[in-house]
Chain A
Amino acid sequence: MTSALGALGRPVLQAIAAVGRVALFAGAILWHMLRPPFYLRELGHALLQIGWYSLPVVGLTAIFTGGALALQIYAGGSRFNAESVVPSIVAIGMTRELGPVLGGLMVAARVASSIAAEIGTMKVTEQIDALVTLSTNPLKYLAVPRVVAATLSMPVLVATGDAIGIMGGWLVGITRLDFNSAAYLKNTADFLQGWDVGSGLVKGAVFGFIVALMGSYHGMNSARGAQGVGAATKAAVVSASVLILAANYVLTEVFFSS
């Protein structure tokens, strides 16, 4: 009985300790964000890597998702003669949910893995120790620029993904579902509200923070060797993805439950 409770308790305690470590890490990053020195060159580099180079993957994800969404809503709506809701539901679905969540997941796969692998490799090759001996705080130099860049980039990526996703729905609507182009666009514009887009952008910023935070955390805590870096990379992607989905639920509850 005691050993069974011990076996149950150990992973629970480990999980609580891990949450505590991540929370402390996030707190340290927020603290360092506000205190000089600020590494603007590293921030610019991170904006390019995380924001600009993620545009193709986010755009491609969005256009196919928007198109598939239009087909599904049309198929479902036609069961009760509600085919006309396709433009508005595609727009709302993309801006509130699919744009930020799928964008976040794609960026998690692309960016969290890359950050964890890069920082993890730096750790195992003593580059992090070298930074310390050169009087440079590794958290401030490596993690903060990446977290700031991801937090700033993700809303832009989400907005771009929203526009491309809606365009995907429109393209499928006018070519496959016999919608009138002008009517489709008017319907989209009439039903879409500012907060539909705004809530998605806020979600994007939160997801960006999560992605870079988990990438940096697992990279900084990478174990030795190729296996250690591989495990850190995997843990970064998995934890960022799960946290994005969990945060999405919480934010949706906060924004829309009333």
Chain B
Amino acid sequence: MIALRDVHKRFGDNRVLQGVTLEIASGTSMVIIGGSGTGKSVLLKCILGLVRPDQGTITLEGQDVTGGDHDAFLARFGMLFQGGALFDSLRVWENVAFRLLRGPKALPKPEAREVAIEKLRRVGLKPATADLFPAELSGGMQKRVGLARAIAASPEIIFFDEPTTGLDPIMAGVINELIREIVVEMGATAMTITHDMSSVRAIADSVAMLHGGVIRWTGPVSELDATPDPFVQQFIHGRADGPIESIR
């Protein structure tokens, strides 16, 4: 289980997180929703240790994420970045097999390439893609490669940062389905941040809404539409009028 207790983070005068408390049960898929600039990515980066919280604790299976061997901690994670974040100078298969080629448990190159091609196939890409460079791929293909990289080392926990941003609805649907299939198949714990409601419905077991630096609402996805919370209702229906200011 990933547990956040009273997590605060500010950048200068901007208090982004103002006491986030949240639990993500092992083997479940949690989706964090919220408007742009509400701190969803910051929250995710706090868990990964990319951003240090000013206050509060984050634990994974009861262990504080800031202590211990950070590399070993990160080895349990896979992450799909919003823009893919593929390494331009490396071929697609080298991007996918990046973790497999390094560290104490590094695989020999041919074996790592085999695994990479298998993962590419899993996300619907042909083996011929393996030898291309990221710049030669479309946005949707880059997202799939990013997904293949995230699952390459069979992590226990996978984070998805805006997985469908910038994709057409069909490609977004394909990515959503892939994420759901992979998470179920691997039995992984998943945390997705998005403001795409079709992603929420396709991926989530449970949903949390981040607003004003705190978790405004959390519950099973089946209860999302029925909740009377005006913030959630405004957000999921995309209304301009409501308690959430349109100018932030």
Contact = CB atoms under 8 A, between A and B. Distances in A.
Given A134-B98, A135-B99, A135-B103, A129 B45 contact: yes
B85 interface: yes
A130 B74 contact: no
Contact of A126 (B71, B83, B99): B83
5 contacts: A127-B86, A129-B50, A133-B50, A133-B77, A135-B103
Interface of A: 37, 45, 122, 125-127, 129-130, 132-136
A136 B98 CA distance: 10
Contacts of B102: 37, 134-136
Contacts of A134: 74, 98-99, 102
A125 B85 contact: yes
B12 to A, nearest CB: 14
Contacts of B71: 135
B132 interface: no
B98 A132 contact: no
B82 interface: yes
Interface of B: 45, 48-50, 71, 74-75, 77-79, 81-83, 85-89, 98-99, 102-103
Given A37-B102, A132-B50, A136-B102, A127 B87 contact: yes
Central interface residue in A126, A129, A130, A134, by most chain B CB within 10 Å:
A134
- A-B pairs with lowest CB-CB distance, top 3: A130-B85, A126-B85, A135-B71
B81 A126 contact: yes
Contacts of B88: 127
A46 to B, nearest CB: 11
Contacts of B99: 134-135
A133 B82 contact: no
A135 B74 contact: yes
Given A125-B83, A125-B85, 6 more contacts: A126-B85, A127-B87, A129-B81, A129-B85, A133-B48, A135-B103
Contact of B82 (A37, A126, A132, A135): A126
Nearest to B146: A130
Nearest to B73: A135
Contacts of A45: 89
Contacts of B50: 129, 132-133
A129 B79 CA distance: 10
A219 to B, nearest CB: 14
Contact of A130 (B75, B87, B103): B87
A130 B90 CA distance: 14
B157 to A, nearest CB: 11
A136 B149 CA distance: 14
Nearest to B78: A133
Central interface residue in A45, A127, A133, A136, by most chain B CB within 10 Å:
A133
Nearest to A39: B102
Nearest to A124: B83
B39 to A, nearest CB: 16
Nearest to A130: B85
Nearest to A132: B50
B74 A133 contact: yes
A133 to B, nearest CB: 5
Contacts of B83: 125-126
Contacts of A130: 79, 81, 85-87
